[in-house]
Amino acid sequence: MRVERLSLTTFRSYSTLEVSFPDGPQVVVGPNATGKTSLLEAIVVLGTARSHRAGQDGELVSWGAEFARLEAEVGGTAQGSDKVEMVIARTATGGGRKRVLVNGVARRPAALGATLPVVLFAPEDMLLVVGSPGLRRNSLDTLIAQTVPASAATMSTYARALTQRNNLLRQVREGMAAPDELRYWDEVVINDGAQIVDWRRATLAQLSGPLSAAHQEIAPGEEPLQLRYLTNAEPQATETTRDALRRRLIDTRDKEMWNGATLIGPHRDDIAFVSDERELASSASRGQQRTAILAYKLAQLDLLTLSVGQPPLLLLDDVFSELDPDRRAHLVRRIGALPQAFVTTTTTDDLDPALVAASTVWSVSPGQLRQGDR
Ligand SMILES: Nc1ncnc2c1ncn2[C@@H]1O[C@H](COP(=O)(O)OP(=O)(O)O)[C@@H](O)[C@H]1O
Ligand SMILES: [Mg+2]
């Protein structure tokens, strides 16, 4: 996949940007706060319909503007190339209403995952092993959204049901609603929740081969790396995921009413990085964590390549400075094998000289991107 042309209007700090990118690695260099992450964020939004860092989509619209417009010509797709357009209108509450066109035809934002698959590796990913479970769930759910187009609708139904059910649990606690009223929302948590858990388990199974291969390549001497799904509703014997969720919801009902919150379901599950039967979160050195995270990113790249039939676009936001030369070398080799990749950095001193030599170098200053010198 390649972004051949990108055009932004009132997106973050870019009032207007119109740029064509050649094949191969694109190195974007500039001091802090000049718009490097925003540039990659624009590509992430076009590829996943969601920003990886904005709490609300309205933040993507330039201050003082009402809407943002993003447009990309994507090369290397099934049709040869696709034109993706998105308009984000800021709502009164700070959210953003999105409209998406692919080749001029209105599409649901969820359809974008297959048009422009992206793998982002950002500094905050360095916390993936030890950080909060939400980071790991989001990362896996984003991958699912890119490989199973139907999943976006299920995930948002589940999230809405959870809000409703939690409100109702609090009303039941206050004596304002009857416990029977929970039944409807229980079914959504059980049905959509089980679907989400099954997708997560299936995706982890698909990641397993590429993950251990990548890990083996980066750290040949270390014990194999695995990902394990940790759920609060583990099926017993012949139970399905659904049966287990139903059983656990019944068991936990009193506690849930007491807490006024849904305690069982995929929103409370976790994914552990495991090596030699030990969870890396509690046992690994920083170096081992970094190796695991890098292997996980490379495995995502492999999984998307298989599922889409084309290598995705790799976006590396300021991560080279976080990696030692040995780990950098693995990334550089992968970048070299991709049709295109974007790498941001505050200084090319952090990059492998061979990568810089093979790249198109851009220098970024507030609101502008110019092809620059090495
Ligand atoms: N909605 C917005 N409108 C205008 N400017 C913004 C908006 N959101 C962020 N910015 C500004 O964009 C600048 C660039 O941010 P960023 O892309 O994170 O830079 P970098 O990654 O190069 O450090 C920041 O100075 C920030 O204040
Ligand atoms: Mg940045």
CB under 6 Å to ligand 1: residues?
Answer: 12-13, 30, 32-38, 59, 61-63
Percentage of the chain exceeding pLDDT 90: 89
Residue 161 forms part of a structural domain = yes
Q: Are 33 and 70 in contact (CB under 8 A)?
A: no
For residue 225, give the CATH number of its domain: 1.20.1050.90
What does the pLDDT look like over 192-244, one tens digit per residue? 999 999 999 999 999 999 999 999 999 998 899 999 999 999 999 999 999 99
Average pLDDT, the chain: 95
* Number of compact structural domains in the chain: 1
Q: In a mutational test of the pocket of ligand 1, which residue from 38, 40, 62 has the highest number of ligand atoms less than 8 Å from its CB?
A: 38
Is 193 part of a structural domain of the chain? yes
Q: What is the pLDDT of residue 256?
A: 95
The pick from 12, 56, 61, 362 for probing ligand 1's pocket by mutation, whose C-beta has the most ligand atoms within 8 angstroms, reads: 12
Give residue 109's pLDDT: 86
Residue 173 lies in a domain: yes
Is 20 inside a domain boundary?
no
Phi and psi at residue 88, to the nearest 5°: -115, 115
- Assigned domain for 248 exists: yes
Is 123 among the domain residues?
A: yes
Residue 37 lies in a domain: no
Question: Measuring CA to CA, how many Å separate 130 from each of 34, 147, 234, 276, 368?
Answer: 30, 26, 23, 17, 36
Percent pLDDT > 70 in the chain is 99
pLDDT band at 164 (very low <50, low <70, confident <90, very high): very high
Given a cut of 80, is residue 298 above it in pLDDT?
yes
Q: What is the dihedral of CA 96, 117, 17, 338, to 10 degrees?
A: 160
Domain assignment of residue 243, given as a range: 118-309
Q: Parallel, antiparallel, or unpaired for β 96-102 and 105-107?
A: antiparallel
DSSP 223: P
Q: pLDDT tens across 317-337, in order?
A: 999 988 888 889 999 999 999
pLDDT digits (tens, 9 = 90+) for 58-75: 999 999 999 999 999 999
Please tell me the predicted confidence (pLDDT) of residue 374: 58
pLDDT in tens, 111-149: 788 889 999 999 999 999 999 999 999 999 999 999 998
As separate numbers, helices (DSSP H) first and strands (DSSP E) second, the chain gives 10, 15
Residue 360 lies in a domain: no
